[in-house]
Amino acid sequence: MCGVLAGLILTWSGPVRAETALALTAEEAVARALDANARLGVQAAELAAAQAEAKAAGKPEPLRLALSPASIIQELEAAVSAVLDLSGRRKWASRAARHELAAAVAGNEEFRLELAAGARATYWELRLAQERVGLVGEQAVLAQRTRDAAARLVEAGVGRRIDLDRAGNDLGEAQLAQQVAAAEVRQVQSRLALLLVLPPETELTATDAIPTEAPRPAPGPELQAQALASRPAMVRVDRLARAALARIGIAGAERKPDLELSLAREEGVNFGRALLDLPLIDFGTIRHGRRAARARADAALAEVKVVEADIRQEVQSAADALAAASAQEARLTAELIPQQTDIVARLQRGYEARSVSLLDVLEGEATLQELRLKWLEAVGDRLESQTRLERAIGAATEETEDDGNRE
């Protein structure tokens, strides 16, 4: 026993610690966000309930057996009865339940799309913030070199004091930009950790390379048609509208009769009986119920048009923003950055030939770094617009498509 305790003491390394650093890809971030979200578990339970309700709505009324208390000690007296749905109430209820189930599935998929888009957008925001830290650090190094060069020129008596002051101000701004960039990384890390249900202090690192090419989106009308066909939000309101129309049928069935058939045995005699159950006088319950069902259906159909217009506007806005960001990125990549790179190379050759000062070279390199920061900003705008466009288009789930084929 003492040996076991000694072994436990020697092998125990302290309490289990949560992850303090984690490197992950964009797909891993999205998968973690979907796996860790508690709301999806709640929605799964709600979907299970909706599926059970849809199955129950389409089943006929159960057969009922009635036994007389006296049949226990006397001759058996019993009756078996069943209700025939002549009014079609169960048929309309089953149809409404199926459409409501499809709407619930689409709503769940819409939430998943929104959650995945948020995780993906935050991930790329972190990746760009990390890249910005490196570029800002290079700017600070160049600013320090410029300031040192200006100080040497002033000490040699060939430089101007105003150039030294300006270089000092640039260095201060570059160092402040470093602090801001580092704080931005930490802020984005905390937001991404919240989405992944991780401790806020977790140091997350985005490892994916920054994508440099953006796929060209299809023309606006094609994207809008794709979004209207596959966006879960559109599927959801469409199914809710169909369910509301089915509810009108349920309300109308209240005016129609139901037939109850029964087989009974009383006092040794077997006989059958048919009972017709129909409303005789409506004091407004059926009429107003049907009117309320029609009003709800009109509201649901109007909601379909509103959501359709919103989706069209959302898709067009995201496509326009993506085109603008891609054009800005392409101009920086193909024109401005190569031109400034060539200028810096010529300045460096001039400095080697003693025809250009070191300050001119450093100023050219600083301009190149600023263009790279603008390129990084354009990439961020493009990735954000691309995520918005993917979110706006959406994708239909298999469950939704299967439910939609059941009529």
Cβ neighbourhood burial of 315 (10 Å; 0-12, 13-18, 19+): buried
Least trusted range by pLDDT, from 14-23, 74-83, 141-150, 395-404 = 395-404
Evaluate if residue 285 carries a pLDDT over 70: yes
pLDDT of residue 7: 46
The overall average pLDDT reported for the chain is 82
Domain spanning 23-401: which superfamily? Outer membrane efflux proteins (OEP) (1.20.1600.10)
Residues in the chain: 407
pLDDT of residue 397: 31
Measure the CA–CA gap between 339 and 346, rounded to whole angstroms.
Answer: 11
Helix (H, G, I), strand (E, B) or coil at 221: helix
pLDDT of residue 299: 95
Which of residues 39 and 271 earns the better pLDDT score? 39
* Segments making up each domain of the chain, as ranges: 23-401
Look up residue 70 and give its DSSP letter.
G
Least trusted range by pLDDT, from 69-78, 226-235, 287-296, 359-368 = 69-78
Confidence tier at 297 by pLDDT (50, 70, 90): very high
Evaluate if residue 404 carries a pLDDT over 70: no
Query: 124-138, 242-256, 272-286: which has the highest mean pLDDT?
Result: 124-138
| Number of alpha helices (DSSP H) and beta strands (DSSP E) in the chain | 11, 6
Least trusted range by pLDDT, from 147-151, 272-276, 332-336 = 272-276
Q: Strands 258-266 and 269-277: what pairing?
A: antiparallel
Measure the CA–CA gap between 294 and 121, rounded to whole angstroms.
Answer: 42
Which of residues 94 and 272 earns the better pLDDT score? 94
pLDDT of residue 182: 94
Measure the CA–CA gap between 87 and 278, rounded to whole angstroms.
Answer: 10
Q: What is the pLDDT of residues 372-396, one digit of tens each?
A: 999 999 999 999 988 888 888 884 3
Q: What is the pLDDT of residues 29-79, one digit of tens each?
A: 999 999 988 888 888 888 888 888 888 887 777 777 666 665 455 555 667
pLDDT of residue 14: 42
Rounded average pLDDT over 219-229? 80
pLDDT of residue 278: 77
Evaluate if residue 9 carries a pLDDT over 60: no
- 158-166 long-range contacts (CB < 8 A, ≥24 apart) are 163/359
pLDDT of residue 399: 36
E strand or H helix that includes residue 203: strand 203-206
Helix (H, G, I), strand (E, B) or coil at 80: strand
pLDDT of residue 215: 60
Rounded average pLDDT over 158-186? 88
Q: What is the pLDDT of residues 115-125, one digit of tens each?
A: 999 999 999 99
Q: What is the pLDDT of residues 179-218, one digit of tens each?
A: 999 999 999 999 999 999 999 889 999 999 988 765 666 6
Confidence tier at 4 by pLDDT (50, 70, 90): very low
Which of residues 378 and 12 earns the better pLDDT score? 378
Rounded average pLDDT over 68-95? 70
Evaluate if residue 148 carries a pLDDT over 70: yes
- Can you name the residues that pair with 79 across neighbouring β-strands? 66, 264
| Six token digits for residue 74 | 């006397």
Least trusted range by pLDDT, from 113-117, 151-155, 204-208, 275-279 = 275-279
E strand or H helix that includes residue 271: strand 269-277
Q: Strands 258-266 and 64-67: what pairing?
A: unpaired
pLDDT of residue 216: 64
Evaluate if residue 349 carries a pLDDT over 60: yes
